[in-house]
Amino acid sequence: MQKDLTRNVLKIVGRIPKGHLMTYSQVAKRSGSVKAYRAVGNILHKNFREAQKQLPLAEFRPVPCHRVIRSDGYLGGYAQGSQKKQNLLEKEGHVINNGRIVIPKLN
């Protein structure tokens, strides 16, 4: 079961396009496990791209875990540190203020 969830999460997150975001909760829901948002965070934390820490799932290319944030707009954790996550998101065009994504107001 955990291996299936891991595969589903990595497939979903692997498809998030540059400049887009999903929440841990959205990923959990799409993976078929609505309440598994904490498990999603744990799975992504283990996705760190150092050979000795990689998940043993050869079919997955590096997964853009930095594109998954908390439902309240805060960035959430990141295996390489929150500053690295913030830098990657800013590079992709997101505005971050006090550790939180700034959502532009729509007219």
Q: Write out pLDDT tens, residues 18-45.
A: 999 999 999 999 999 989 999 999 988 8
Q: Is the dihedral of CA 20, 106, 76, 28 positive or negative?
A: negative
Please give the tally of structural domains in the chain. Answer: 1
Phi, psi of 84 (to 5 degrees): -65, -40
> Is 72 part of any domain?
yes
> Is 91 part of any domain?
yes
User: Residue 69: which CATH number?
Assistant: 1.10.10.10
- pTM assigned to the model: 0.85
Query: Under a CB-based contact definition with an 8 Å cutoff, are residues 25 and 76 in contact?
Result: no
Q: Catalytic residue, from 44, 65, 68, 69: name it.
A: 65
> Is 107 part of any domain?
no
Residues of the domain holding 39? 2-101
Does the annotation count 6 as an active-site position? no
> Is 79 part of any domain?
yes
- pLDDT tens for 70-107 read 999 999 988 888 999 999 999 999 999 999 999 865 55
